[in-house]
Amino acid sequence: MKRRDFIKTAGVGAAAATFASPALASGKRQWKMVTAWPKNLPGPGVAAQKLADRITALSGGRIEVKLYAAGELVPGRGVFDAVSQGTAELYHAVPSYWGSKSKGILMFGSQPFGLRADEQVGWLTHGGGQALYDEMYGRFGLKPFLCGNSGPQWQGWFKNEINSVDDLKGLRFRTTGLASEMCAKLGMAVQAMGGRDMFQALQSGALDAGEFIGPWTDSALGFYQVAKNYYWPGVGEPSSAEECAVNAKAYEELPEDLKQAVTYACESLYNPVWTEYTTKHAMALRQLVDEQGVQVKKLPDDVLVAMGNAAGEVIAELRENDDDLVRRIVDSFLAYRSSVSDYMTYADNGQMNARSLDYKY
């Protein structure tokens, strides 16, 4: 979905009215939430509505949040600018969409060969990531929060099999964020587009392959109808954080208890959203295989190693970025990744490897 310049002179006047009207005698604020998703799209669309409802509930109705799906008020890829400029008070999207604003933003959504969903929120909460997240988004007049995660994404839907690194060269592939840069280094022709556009492009032959999220969301969008090879692991996005960003002026005007209501609404949804993805991905995958004839295939190890090397180049380039804040974000991420990677060898990796052994249970 192409971004459009929708901030017109009339829009600026409307934005000013947005903040002139909420603080009524009743004490209620009416907030607009714009999203990057079709309404109630399984996964992110469902999560966005839950967030709107939770902010309303936790504020005791003093903030009434009305959700606008992609295209209803602004285009899906226009929500960042809409909230930054005051056309709406908050949005629900993913950081992976905002690389044109700063490469540093991409680190807060997903990193190729990077952090899992629990590690991602761990970095922000306990590893200094939130302060950097706030500093980066503050440049754009936004207050950011993580509010969910898809968990491990898939490498995606391919019309043809992938047997070697050479099979990737020239492949027309849909992805986003830093994964785009990793894939481009391997000679893939990367394109960014929404889920519905990806289906149409696969159907028409404009794309050879593409990834969106995972089985639950992907099955709802019907990708299995136009490509039967479903590849794992999705090393481009070991997790993908969903975010809520609030217009900083609107947030600062809130009394302290309502700031806490917004903050807790986001924080309290992270695990429920993540675990719903995990549960429904598992259910949807069985249906895709048993009922739709999808072929689940693992990328060859030499392809994964090549992707890892390409991802390393992407991160190395970010460490040399001209922006000091981008460099500090990457250094903070790498320090946290190193620490938890060492520990996970004994903890989660050990448990999952043991669980996969052949024994009666």
Q: What rounded mean pLDDT belongs to the chain?
A: 93
Query: What percent of the chain lies above the pLDDT cut of 90?
Result: 93
* Span 299-325, average pLDDT: 98
Q: How far apart are CA 244 and CA 252, in angstroms?
A: 15
Q: Which of 329, 275, 346 lies closest to 123 in space, CA to CA?
A: 329
Q: Is the pLDDT of residue 13 over 80?
A: no
Q: Which residues are paired to 181 by β-bridges?
A: none
Strand order of the β-sheet with 142-149 is 63-68, 29-35, 90-93, 241-247, 142-149
Residue 136's H or E segment, with its range, is helix 129-138
Ordered domains of the chain (ranges, CATH): 16-149+240-279 (3.40.190.170)
pLDDT tens-digit series, residues 165-219 = 999 999 999 999 999 999 999 999 999 999 999 999 999 999 999 999 999 999 9
Q: How does residue 1 score in pLDDT terms, banded at 50, 70 and 90?
A: very low
Q: What is the pLDDT of residue 26?
A: 61
